Structure 1
Amino acid sequence: MQAPLVAIGALLGLLQWFISGGQLWLYGAILIFSNLPYTFAIIMPVNKKLMSMPPNSSNAETRILVQKWGQLHLVRTGLGLAATLVFVLASLF
């Protein structure tokens, strides 16, 4: 669900940039789109490791991976928040 929303947000940001020429729209589109490669290249390997672990077999490695996943997800959340703020600023100017 997130990938299509990112793609739609980036496309709409690019479209508005083409229409208005405002650089903030382009920056917002780049920020929101950066979630896709970040997720696939950085977060997906951690997800795959966690998903490959058998249920009820949590250990120190599981805890470390879950904490790492949380930190990585925080970056992704920050990218989305930054894109939203840039889009809001672009709409005000």
Structure 2
Amino acid sequence: MSPGSLALALAATFFGAALYVNLVEQPARLALDDEAILNEWTPSDRRGVALMAGLSLLSAALGLVAYFASQDVRWAIGALIVILAWPYTFFAMAPLNNQILTLAPRDIGAVRALVRQWGLLEYGQTAIGLAASLVYLWAL
């Protein structure tokens, strides 16, 4: 498999994972009671961040390899788009995420509203994955 094909596969996996969170995990999470949401959040968050960060980084690196091998700027654009997941996560999602992680037991009533807001921000990750996949597909 070429670096470009692998970059596309990883960007599509990133997109699929983000879409899964939006359509499956988030609705299931919100069906739980407030305490269960908070108990589920920490392990799910750690694993999800690691997965999404790794997929984004590997896809961007392979996109750049494809760019340097072919000199086709579309690979570099796709790499730039998919790596934008990092600053988006850090600046848009992490503050809300940290708020959820540090909720005190007496503030547990706020968890549902915060998790709903976080779910809306997750759509940004889905859009990033879709955009990168489409650009990579165009380059392929």
One fold, TM greater than 0.5? Answer: yes
* CA shift for structure 1 position 63: 3.0
* Number of the residue aligned with 1:34: 84
**Per-residue Cα deviation, 1:32-52 (whole angstroms, up to 9, x for no partner):** 000011111211111111112
* Number of the residue aligned with 2:62: 12
**Per-residue Cα deviation, 1:17-71 (whole angstroms, up to 9, x for no partner):** 1111111111100000000111112111111111122469542x33331221011
* Number of the residue aligned with 2:23: none
Point out which structure has higher relative CO (alpha carbons under 8 A, 6+ apart).
Answer: 2
Distance 1:56 1:78 in 2: 35
Unaligned segments of structure 1, at least 5 residues: none
Aligned residue pairs, count: 90
Percent of residue pairs identical? 36
Unaligned segments of structure 2, at least 5 residues: 1-50
Instruction: Write 1 or 2 for the structure with the bigger share of helix.
Output: 2
- Using the size of structure 2 for normalisation, the TM-score is 0.59
* Number of the residue aligned with 1:50: 100
Structure 1 residue 68 corresponds to structure 2 residue 117 = yes
Structure 1 runs, 4 residues or longer, greater than 6 Å off: none
- Using the size of structure 1 for normalisation, the TM-score is 0.85
Distance 1:16 1:55 in 2: 49
Task: Give me the CA root mean square deviation.
Answer: 1.7
Structure 1 residue 86 corresponds to structure 2 residue 135 = yes
